Each structure stands twice: as C-alpha cells, then as structure tokens.
Structure 1
C-alpha cells in the first residue's frame, strides 16, 4: 500500500523524477531509432515505432532497475515482469500510432508524442507497483 506521509511523498517525487530522466534517455533513443527507421530505412511509421520501442526498452530496463527503483529484485523475476509491462505499453503505443497515423492521418511524430505521454504513465505505475516492487516500500 502507498502511504502519503511527507517523507514518502518526497521519495515518490524523487523516484518519479529519476524515472522521467531515465525515460527521457530511453525516449530520445526511441525517437532516434524511429527517425532512422522512417527517414533512413524507408519503413512505415507503425513498424518503425514497434522496432524502436523494443530496442529502447533494453536500455530502459537496465537504467530503471539500477537508477530509478534501485531494485534488488532478481532479473529472473523483474525481467519477465518488465517485459509484460513494457509489452502492454507497446500495445498501447502501437494502437495510438495506428489510430493517429492511419485512421486520423496525423503526423507520425506528433502522434508519437501523445503515445509517449500515455505510455510513460502506464510504465511508471507498472514498474513501481509490480516490476520493481520492493516489499519494504522503497
């Protein structure tokens, strides 16, 4: 259960700040890979986004485990959980990209920004509450 005391709130804000910084790096990597896929390799936006998301997830896992959540959870536990949360995030991302670019004819970068915001919240909650959950409430 999440407590809402002042020290706990400060810890939550600090953790979320680290999550945003790590996520910013992973997101920058994802956008760079997306641009390479679309502009450099001639891929269509949805598959390029899927590939970019998957590759950036590797860096995201390692950095969030170590820096954001300072988790001692074993990889054999945390990695499958991360894959499940990230996989659900990928589905959310892909649906937003598909609807936004294919059905609504939006520019792929604008739609990706919206998708990134939605997936950020999903991934933080999944990571905090399940993937890297520490019984001590860290």
Structure 2
C-alpha cells in the first residue's frame, strides 16, 4: 500500500512539474519571439530546451527525490523525453492519417502516451535507485 501511495504522489508531482515546465517553456518561447525578436523556430528550440532542463531538475528534486549522479540521470532524461516525444508523434500521425481523428482531438491521446511513457521511464530508468532496479531483475 505504501508503494502505491508513493507512486500516486510521484505521478501527481510529475504532472504538476509538467504544467510548470510547460508554462516556463511557453513563456520563454513568446518572450523570445516578441521581446527579443527571435524567429519562431529558434524561440521554440530555446523554450523547449529550457523546459526540459526545468523539468529534469524539478523532477529530480521533488518528484523522485534523487541523489544519484546528475550527469547520467540528465542524459537518460533527455533520451526518455525524446523517446516519449517520438511515441507521441507516432500516435498523433496514426490517429490523424489512419483513424481520421480531428487534429486537435488527436493531441489528447498522443499527450497521454507521452505522459505515460515519460513517467514510467523516469520512475524505473532515469531516477530509479540501484536497489529498486536490482529487486526487479
């Protein structure tokens, strides 16, 4: 029961961090575009890069309370974000092109896929303690 409660706490914290990093990322995107007069692509790259860093540090500190080597974790985190985004994109394209789901509506299940993959891989791969990985396999 204690493990289940901790997992729910982590999922809720992970979702809250996602809201924060989304707000920070979009804030940087729009500030870059409209205050710094950067192009939309450069602004987007900058906003997402900062969002990933913010997400990593908040999840490391508050969601998973990790004290492991940050460099290895960060590289794993970036890999997980990329994998989750690719899965998100695949679901999005499949739903739009093959299932004829509305483009806006298709974003919802694609986002759920991103959240599920990124959370689970963060919990069991990026931020997993050596003890928890050893006990699973």
Q: TM-score, length-normalised on structure 1?
A: 0.68
**In 2, Cα distance between the equivalents of 1:48 and 1:92?**
24
Quick check: 1:73 aligned with 2:106? no
Aligned residue in 1 for 2:121: 126
Contact kept in structure 1, 2:60 and 2:127, CA below 8 Å: yes
Gaps of 5+ in 2: 133-137
Q: Which residue of 1 aligns with 2:20?
A: 25
Deviations 1:41-89 (A, max 9, x none): 8869xx9977754442121111111110011111121011111101112
Q: Which residue of 1 aligns with 2:103?
A: 106
Question: In 1, Cα distance between the equivalents of 2:23 and 2:90?
Answer: 20
Alignment of 1:30-49 (within 5 A): 30=25, 36=30
How big is each residue's C-alpha offset from its partner over 1:75-105, in whole Å with a ceiling of 9 and x where there is no partner?
Answer: 12101111110111222233345x2797457
Unaligned residue ranges in structure 1 (runs of 5+) = 1-5
* Number of residue-to-residue matches in the alignment: 125
**In structure 2, do the counterparts of structure 1 residues 50 and 117 end up closer, same or farther at CA, with 3 Å as the change threshold?**
farther
Structure with larger RCO (C-alpha < 8 A, sep 6+): 1
**Residues 100 and 111, structure 1, Cα contact 8 Å, conserved in 2:** no
Counterpart-to-counterpart distance in 2, 1:90 and 1:117:
11
Residues 30, 55 of structure 1: 8 Å contact kept: yes
- Aligned with 1:72: secondary structure? coil
Q: CA deviation at 1:31?
A: 5.5
* RMSD (CA atoms): 3.5
**Higher Cα Rg: structure 1 or 2?**
2
Aligned to 1:14: 9
